[in-house]
């Protein structure tokens, strides 16, 4: 599967539990929506993913990737220390200037 570099970097950072590298895939003003919570800016995103990594130890296996006009959708099988693992999640991404501007994770 041919993923944009920033998306491939995001998956690699997730699979190595590297919260700094994960956060660096995002712009300084990026927004993440996950589990009913909003995380604003790179620092908040870094703290959110560090906590999630510690708690769930999730890894991502990309299943499909679609690019639309304003949004890209990565579907990935996510497994880790959580009920229902593994599950396929959709990562709704807005990418500009080779950085993620927003991410919304849905089931």
Q: For 35-82, write each residue's pLDDT tens digit.
A: 999 999 999 999 999 999 999 999 999 999 999 989 999 999 999 999
pLDDT averaged over the chain?
97
CATH of domain 5-106: 3.10.450.50
pLDDT of the residue at 106 = 97
**Integer Cα distance of 65 and 89 in angstroms:** 12
Q: Which of 23, 65, 78 is nearest to 46 (CA)?
A: 23
Please report the pLDDT score of residue 79 as a whole number: 98
Distance separating alpha carbons of residues 44 and 19, to the nearest angstrom: 11
DSSP secondary structure letters along 40-92: EHHHHHHHHHHHHHHHH--EEEEEEEEE-SS-EEEEEEEESSSTT-SEEEEEE
> Where does the pLDDT of residue 2 fall: very low under 50, low under 70, confident under 90, or very high at 90 and above?
very high
Name which residue leads in pLDDT, 10 or 68: 10
Q: How far apart are CA 49 and CA 68, in angstroms?
A: 26
Cα distance between residue 42 and residue 90, in whole Å = 21
* pLDDT of the residue at 55: 96
């Amino acid at each position: 599967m041919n993923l944009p570099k920033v998306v491939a970097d995001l998956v690699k950072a997730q699979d190595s539990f590297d919260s700094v590298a994960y956060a660096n895939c995002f712009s300084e003003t990026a927004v993440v929506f996950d589990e009913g919570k909003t995380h604003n800016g790179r620092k908040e995103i870094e703290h959110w993913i560090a906590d999630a990594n510690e708690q769930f130890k999730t890894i991502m296996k990309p299943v499909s990737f679609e690019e639309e006009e304003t949004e890209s959708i990565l579907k990935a099988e996510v497994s880790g220390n959580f009920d229902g693992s593994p599950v396929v999640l959709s990562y709704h991404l807005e990418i500009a200037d080779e950085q993620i501007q927003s991410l919304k994770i849905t089931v």
